[in-house]
Structure 1
Amino acid sequence: MDQFVGEGRLEWWANQSICLEVYDIDITVAVDAVGQWRATGRHANALDAIQRESWDFLMEMDPHFSLAFPGEDRGGIMVRVVEAGDGTFTLTEAPDWDGSVNVTFDLT
């Protein structure tokens, strides 16, 4: 099993031109013999209150992020992020995600 342990970043794109937020992460990616990969991570730096609010908002709206590694200008792997209660998260590849999400805001 091959493994990568290092840094990466999660980018949340509103569309092809607008990246709303970028989060630096520490990540461990393991790839098995048939090419399936699993990844776990955590924020590289603790989020302050405003960053936490932004993270929670984006996760609630749509937990799909683009994953980028050092040296990449823009993330190329679309992942779904699931956060655990202890601040860690798992990343699963989302190659079929089409970029669409339905969002309803209650403005009352």
Structure 2
Amino acid sequence: MDTYEGAARLEWWANRDTCLCSVSVAIAIVSDDSGWRVSATFVPPLNGEDREGWMFLMALSPYCTLRFDDDEDATVDVRVEEPSEGKLVLSAV
């Protein structure tokens, strides 16, 4: 089993020139024979207007780009689910 923990951002892009939102997260990736699983938490936790903006974007589309902080060129298109407030589950699309 391989694991990775690190910092990343979830980004919603209107087009290739306009980023609507970027949210910092701490991610944990686990890869094994059954595939890979990614969980994430907000860093820092979202409050107030930031939380409202997050909920608005999630209602529009749960699909965004995951960009790794330690390699700006490493991105993955993901679907985001939030089973409990602040706890995210990501899946590749």
**What is the TM-score when the length of structure 2 is the normalising length?**
0.90
Structure 2: runs of 5+ lacking an equivalent: none
Which residue does 2:22 correspond to in 1? 22
Alpha-carbon deviations, 1:21-76, whole Å to 9, x = none? Answer: 10000110011147x21100110102121101110000000011100111333562
8 Å Cα contact 1:12/1:19 also seen in 2:
yes
What CA distance in whole angstroms lies between the structure 2 residues aligned with 1:20 and 1:75? 19
Structure 1 stretches of 4+ with a deviation exceeding 4 A read none
Aligned-residue identity in percent? 34
Structure 1: runs of 5+ lacking an equivalent: 95-108
Q: Which has the higher contact order (CA 8 A, sep 6+)?
A: 2
Alpha-carbon deviations, 1:82-108, whole Å to 9, x = none? Answer: 0022420100001xxxxxxxxxxxxxx
Which residue does 1:103 correspond to in 2? none
**AA partner of residue 87 (structure 1):** G
Residues 1-108 of structure 1 mapped to structure 2, 5 A cutoff? 1-33=1-33, 36-73=35-72, 76-94=75-93
Number of residues of Structure 1 aligned to a counterpart in Structure 2? 93
